[in-house]
Amino acid sequence: MSRDEHASESAAADADDQRLVLPDELRHELKGPMGPIETDADVLLEDVSGPLIAVGDVVTYHILQAGRHPDVALVDERTKRQTVDEEIREVVTDATHLEAENPPAEISADVVDALLEGLEREEPTTILVDGEEDLVALPAILAAPEGASVVYGQPDEGMVHVTVTDDVREDVRTLLEQFEGDATWLWAALDA
């Protein structure tokens, strides 16, 4: 094996170590909303007073249509495992600033790093995720400052608005500790 092949294999092993995988037995716990559900973005935005993180193409689209740019938006050009309409895709990816890989039903170090970079930026940042962005709402809740809003889609119901508090963070940490994989890298990245 050449040195380059060994380095590549080592990097792949590191990437595998730096991801969390949603176990099948935990899927039911994530089906319920973690906050109130709203169908009108204007009404939802009335309750947003701090930074806003939007997770999902349709959620981001509705927030943008209501005149607010999320501080961080994570999109993957899909909704309910189908490609989003061209209008939604164009609107939500118009100002893509970062890209990250995140396989379905996982949370990768790559997407967490992009999320943290987006939160540090002064200007609104859109992250285009190659894979799936659904579970990134969980590390977003841990990374966001107290009082921030994380908004994600609840299929066929509306937008879930989570106001970040210590209690919500504790609930999310408990959930993430049940994921498959070693979360040490995540806690280190989030200083949690």
DSSP states of 52-65: EEEESHHHHHHHHH
Q: Does residue 160 form part of some domain?
A: yes
Does 111 map to a domain?
yes
CA distance 169 to 141: 6
Is residue 15 domain-resident? no
| pLDDT exceeds 80 at position 12 | no
Q: Which two tokens stand for residue 90?
A: 């164009």
d(CA 56, CA 51) in angstroms, rounded, equals: 16
On whether residue 108 sits in a domain, the answer given is yes
Domain carrying residue 158: 36-184
Q: Answer whether residue 4 is part of any domain.
A: no
Residue 97 or residue 35, greater confidence: 35
pLDDT in tens, 119-157: 999 999 999 999 999 999 999 999 999 999 999 999 889
Residue 58 CA, chain-centre distance (Å), reads: 13
Rounded average pLDDT over 14-36: 84
The total of structural domains in the chain comes to 1
Does some domain include residue 19? no
pLDDT value at residue 112: 96
One-letter amino acid identity for 183? A
Count of H-run helices and E-run strands, the chain: 8, 11
- Return the higher-pLDDT residue of 89 and 43: 43
CB 92 within 8 A of CB 75: yes
pLDDT in tens, 69-126: 999 999 987 776 666 777 777 888 877 689 999 999 999 999 999 999 999 999 999 9
End-to-end CA, the chain: 39
pLDDT of residue 187: 93
Written as six digits, the tokens of 129 are 């995720």
Cα(131)–Cα(104) distance, rounded to whole angstroms? Answer: 6
Which residues participate in the annotated binding site for GTP? 57-59, 76, 133, 156
Mean pLDDT of the chain: 87
pLDDT at 1 over 60: no
Asked if residue 163 is part of any domain, the answer here is yes
Residue predicted with more confidence, 33 or 8 = 33
192 within a domain of the structure (yes/no): no
Confidence (pTM) = 0.88
Measured CA to CA, the distance from residue 73 to residue 118 in angstroms comes to: 9
